Amino acid sequence: MQASKTVCLITGASGGIGSAIARALDEKDARLYLVGRNLTTLKELERSLRGEHQCLQADLTSDSGRQELMAAVANDEALNTVIQAAGVSSFAPLPDQSPAMIEASVYVNLTVPVLLSRQLVPVLLGRRSPTIMFIGSAFGSIGYPGFSSYCAAKFGLRGFAEALRRELGDALRVHYLAPRATRTDFNSAAVSAMNEQLGNSMDSPETVADAVLTMLQHPHSQRKTIGWPEKLFCRLNGALPEIVDKALGKKSQQILHFAHENTLKGETR
Ligand SMILES: NC(=O)c1ccc[n+]([C@@H]2O[C@H](COP(=O)([O-])OP(=O)(O)OC[C@H]3O[C@@H](n4cnc5c(N)ncnc54)[C@H](OP(=O)(O)O)[C@@H]3O)[C@@H](O)[C@H]2O)c1
């Protein structure tokens, strides 16, 4: 991938990780479509960048939002890369997760990337180094207490990326990048407090953006989990889930304490 010739659509560009990815790609002279719901944040980001980019305001859960997005990029024959980073968190014991929260978690984290890919793959095929990258999560490989619907969606996203990669072969690069906890507004105060108490590392969004750039430069790097020991636990959970059951079982009461706190603070509506 030659970043200076990359034209990239980034969903979740108004968020912590998406905006760090935008800054890293802007540094490399890529041209960007910055997608999010908050136009003010997108415009601020655009103003802080060096290159000429385009902001696209779209609620990706709506048909009209996705159609407007497609209409905006349809005639850009240079568009060759899509990074899907839009996402929502849902941290609470399952009975405390409102139906709206569960629906949003599954829709934004899983259904939207599938629907967008369906529309974007035919557009990208035949372009120079066509690429789709999904921003998944370590929780797409490890079922974590308090994050049940989020894990369901991110496990699904990882499966989707794998199937799509195998379906498309060499015609289109499909990358799946799984960050561990990252310091953005995505995480409520209760999640950050839990990570601190459990000694879970939290990366900067720039660390995730660096990993994105590295993956884009290495077409054969198709799946990556950021951070140690998360990398190991993700693999271990696939091969020997009973071991991870035991390790997380010991912590689950502590984790659920913070999940309840999230509910009490009204983060679950
Ligand atoms: N932060 C972490 O600890 C962490 C860890 C692992 C994986 N991840 C994943 O990394 C990705 C980015 O997370 P982040 O930390 O950058 O989160 P963030 O700061 O909360 O940003 C989330 C982004 O998603 C967009 N979004 C949410 N709902 C949307 C909708 N209906 N339509 C369009 N855009 C929507 C938001 O747009 P608006 O703000 O404009 O509404 C925002 O740009 C997510 O997929 C997340 O699952 C995050």
Evaluate: CB of 36 within 6 angstroms of ligand 1: yes
Tell me, rounded to whole angstroms, the distance of Cα 24 from its chain centroid. 16
| Structural element, H or E, at residue 254 | helix 252-264
Ligand 1, atom 45, lies closest to the CA of 87
Q: How far is the CA of 33 from the centre of ligand 1 (A)?
A: 16
Task: For residues 7 and 15, give the distance between their C-alpha atoms in angstroms, rounded to a whole number.
Answer: 19
- Give, in words, the CATH class of 3-264: alpha beta
Task: For residues 110 and 19, give the distance between their C-alpha atoms in angstroms, rounded to a whole number.
Answer: 20
Under DSSP, is residue 75 helix (H, G, I), strand (E, B) or coil? coil
Q: How far is the CA of 41 from the centre of ligand 1 (A)?
A: 13
Amino acid of residue 32: L
Under DSSP, is residue 112 helix (H, G, I), strand (E, B) or coil? helix
Nearest in space to 35 (alpha carbons), one of 2, 79, 74, 82:
82
Residue 268 confidence (pLDDT)? 65
Amino acid of residue 1: M
Per-residue pLDDT of the chain (269 residues; tens, 9 = 90+): 667 689 999 999 999 999 999 999 999 999 999 999 999 999 999 999 999 999 999 999 999 999 999 999 989 999 999 999 999 999 999 999 999 999 999 999 999 999 999 999 999 999 999 999 999 999 999 999 999 999 999 999 999 999 999 999 999 999 999 999 999 999 999 999 999 999 999 999 999 999 999 999 999 999 999 999 999 999 999 999 999 999 999 999 999 999 999 988 887 65
Query: In the 8-state DSSP scheme, what is residue 139?
Result: G
Evaluate: CB of 181 within 6 angstroms of ligand 1: yes
For tokens 């990048």, name the residue. 177
Global model pTM greater than 0.75? yes
Q: How far is the CA of 243 from the centre of ligand 1 (A)?
A: 31
Give the position, in ligand 1's atom list, of the atom nearest the Cα of 17: 16
For the chain, the domains span 3-264
Tell me, rounded to whole angstroms, the distance of Cα 160 from its chain centroid. 13
Residue 190 confidence (pLDDT)? 96
Contacts of 196 (CB under 8 A, 6+ apart): none
